[in-house]
Structure 1
């Protein structure tokens, strides 16, 4: 299905005809093969070889895990109760210790591109009791590291962040797209909920003249039914047409957010 996702990402760009001089797919990963379709392969900070159906951080077709994700196509990457995986260690990423792990794509050549479009499909399985089960500080954060420098608060490297929607107890909430990176999903008008059906999310990021980038997706999920699945990751490099504002591109993409 990666071809259709690449086509969809290209359509977002094409919808703003005349604003983009060049576009190139720099990374495409659908987790269905031994090698990525385009660009560097991925690495994970923990090797999940235990095969647990309830504690996982691995590529799956859904048959060996407890989470149920609708509209899945082939394999995808899924995570749940990460600190319960056999042999997992705290890699010092912060958060809840061993439950915070990373999926990474390193050494993406972004030289010559002024913006990147990150798009992927995401879903979160409904719990058996029908409740939403994300608790603070559960999170899934996709960010870019440009030229080896990790992004900081308010930096343009932040991209697609998902956090739980706050409630009175800070427990059993749904994951939402967090459009202002404040740690609370669902508290802004342009935040979007994640459901058990795979849906596409996209974001536009400025490279600020960087030569290389790493896409780092950080997961922090430390209990049963606290899960997330991701598929069809595409990074597209853009070169705007001379004098063309990028606002037209953003207006053409309902789920693509303008950098704040």
Structure 2
């Protein structure tokens, strides 16, 4: 859905991270895990390989170790087996290419463009997600994209919990000459977004992007805060928010499904950003 989102080369300079903290070590560990998966999968197809049950079993193990999931892995192996039986695959290179096509075919049917009807102003987009998945960065890049499309944008700094979140969103605003509605750290997130929606209406804004604080999907009190945000929005516009985007870390694996299910139980999630 968001193919235009790419990492900004200066982003790491804007908000430097402590290299030796727990999350930095965790990110390094995840990077190594992804690397090992790529290497192990690629190694299966090096040289002249016999396409047989043993190779498919190794492939299934690699997919499962990468947390692709049992259901998806079984579907992929079943489809590949049928093609092998029909003599459609007779070498490792063809099998590897077909595997990539199978993975893409699982994702393509659920890919959708983010549609913003011009008659709905302001069009309110609320972002959700756990800590550190890139909600604020996603807003910044979406805002940049629609700003380039000559849309009038407003940003709401609803993440009042994380110390650097408001400043980070302001930097995105400054980069793109987009105004940001913000209050002090620790302010009521719902109040910030309420003020932002009022301002968006008064200014005839096309799109309002509302940031929220990261929260664990299994913490009921934090999820209730999101419901409060929606309630105060509806005092101004009973159709808002018009899109609720859940931002997920694409390397999370099966836990991403748990996050999506539990966020959807609390909020009417309309789209995913990976």
Give the number of the structure whose residues are more often strand, by fraction: 1
Q: Same-fold call, TM > 0.5?
A: no
Normalised by the length of structure 1, the TM-score is 0.26
Kindly name which structure, 1 or 2, has the bigger radius of gyration based on alpha carbons.
2
Normalised by the length of structure 2, the TM-score is 0.25
Give the number of the structure whose residues are more often helix, by fraction: 2
Greater RCO (CA < 8 Å, at least 6 residues apart): 1
